[in-house]
Amino acid sequence: MDYFKKIVAFIGLILLVITTSQCASSKKIKTKLPLELGQVYYQWTSGDDSRGSKKSLYIPVISNENAISLDSVYFQGQVAKIERINESLFTGQFKTNASPKPDLIMSSDPHEEYGNTFQKAKQADDIPFDLNNTQCVISYKEDNKTSYFMIEGVIKK
């Protein structure tokens, strides 16, 4: 009986180590950014039928003494690469689907519905952060290491 208790305790210890080691691999959001930013904002731009509309998030940089390289931005359930407009302004472009939704044939005869395609559900697992509509997370590289910083109070212009 004593041998059985030791085995159960050993297995429990192994399970505890495995479950807590997963926490170390999760993305850590830093509280202090090594560069100074202005007011982050976004705007909607509508295009023609072939291009759709897009949401542009603007990140004004006041000072970047450490030459931090901005990589991606996570905002309102989407992710986009950050592009440089000029020395003090960066942007992330979030595009919407421009193509119209296809017509579906709904019938009690399954042969008439042949050719309908399933729409893919949006994958919430693609965004590793739980954000509200006025928060965004910026990924940046510092000393070849990727880090993350959350920005609160993103406004719409």
In tens, the pLDDT along 46-63 reads 755 455 678 899 999 988
**Whether 61 contacts 85, CB under 8 Å:** no
Asked if residue 67 has pLDDT above 90, the reply is no
**How distant is the alpha carbon of residue 142 from its chain centre?**
19
Q: pTM to 2 decimals?
A: 0.63
1, 21, 29, 69 from 12: Cα distances, Å: 17, 14, 31, 44
Q: Please, which pLDDT band fits residue 35 given cuts at 50, 70 and 90?
A: confident
